[in-house]
Amino acid sequence: MPVQDNVILEEKSLEQELPKDKKTLKREAKAQKKLLKKKAKEEQKRNKIRRIKTLTPYARIVPYIMEDRVGSQNFVFDKIDMEPIDRYVKRKQAEGLKYFNLMHVIIAGYVRSVSQFPGLNRFIRGQKVYTRELVEVSLVIKREMSIDSPDTVIKVLFEPNATADDVYHKLNDKIEEYRKQPESSFDKLAKVLNFIPGIFLRWTVTTLRFWDYLGWLPKFLTNLSPFHCSFFITSMGSLGIPPIVHHLYDFGTLPIFCSFGSTQRELKLMEDGTVCKHRYVDVTYNLDERICDGFYYAAGMKYMRAIYRNPEKLDTPPEKIVKDIK
């Protein structure tokens, strides 16, 4: 009997301790959330924006001729060779980055390109050309891969010297943060705007556009807005379809939109005359041609291609970071 009593007492004591464990977990989750918010605020403070004042007369007049982004779009269609990237992805996954994939490689490749070609990180506001210190990447995510699952847009900030591991951890932390919460900060903002009646909502958005044009939008709004970013990326490969040619947005600061599709196979003639199967992914870029000239864009895109052919370069920070012109 005493033995049975001891067992019962032990079970009761365990039951009493369980609620404490849950409370501890909640406290830790709240503390982590506060820490992430603090880090995000610090990053936004470091993400300084400045106007470029040493452009050529032609570059300064172009934004007045092509007034909006939709009328200034250039489209680039390219292919990414998957053989070196597949090897790289398998190695990173073996190193413990369980969900590492092509998305992380493309984002890291763009961030690395900005470190050497900072003109890719410019944007137009009020017909003037600006540049920013950090790289802001936006993408749409879903809680689950189903038609009924809600989606939202997240935005992640990266230092120009970020490695592939940095991109992986920051992006995955942001995705996990969203999936653990019922709604993101952007969702909450959109919900508030939905309470405004239609005719007044249109007036509100028009006012926000005017403030955005003049650079008067409050900082907290530009921090939440996924349209105020350096690079927007979407994966059509996860849906099993080719990449779309996506438009840019006239609201916000987005200069480059990237879309990539599912893996394709083709027969390729090698230099020695043999034929082998070749795996590749189609990718499209929509570019705002006003932020830099075609020669600069071409140099930046070639550099990005070289990164994708040799993604191991993303394991270490760049030797130097090039600053944009004054």
Distances (CA, A) of 73 to 65, 127, 146, 216, 289: 13, 15, 32, 25, 6
> Six-digit token pair at 141?
């995510």
Q: Are 70 and 248 in contact (CB under 8 A)?
A: yes
Alpha-carbon distance of 193 to 224, in angstroms, equals 13
What is the per-residue pLDDT for 10?
Answer: 39
pLDDT tens figures, 298-311: 999 999 999 999 99
Q: What is the DSSP letter of 163?
A: -
Rounded CA gap, 247 and 97, in Å?
A: 32
Phi, psi of 289 (to 5 degrees): -70, -5
**Three-state SS for 31?**
helix
The hierarchical CATH code for the domain 53-315 is 3.30.559.10
Domain ranges of the chain: 1-46, 53-315
Provide the percentage of residues in the chain whose pLDDT is more than 90: 66
pLDDT band at residue 146 under the 50/70/90 scheme: low
Per-residue pLDDT at 27 exceeds 90: no
DSSP 8-state code for residue 121 = G
**Residue 35: pLDDT band with limits 50, 70, 90:** low
How confident is the model over 176-205, as pLDDT tens digits?
887 777 677 778 888 888 999 988 999 999
Quick: pLDDT tens for 273-301: 888 888 999 999 999 999 999 999 999 99
pTM (predicted TM-score): 0.84
pLDDT digits (tens, 9 = 90+) for 53-75: 999 999 999 999 999 999 999 99
List Cα–Cα distances, 193 to 5, 211, 254, in angstroms.
Answer: 60, 17, 22
Tokens, residue 219 = 């900082």
pLDDT of residue 17: 44
Both structure tokens of 67? 């007034």
3-state SS assignment for residue 326: coil
pLDDT in tens, 211-253: 999 999 999 899 999 999 999 999 998 888 999 999 999 999 9
Tokens of 145: 């891969």
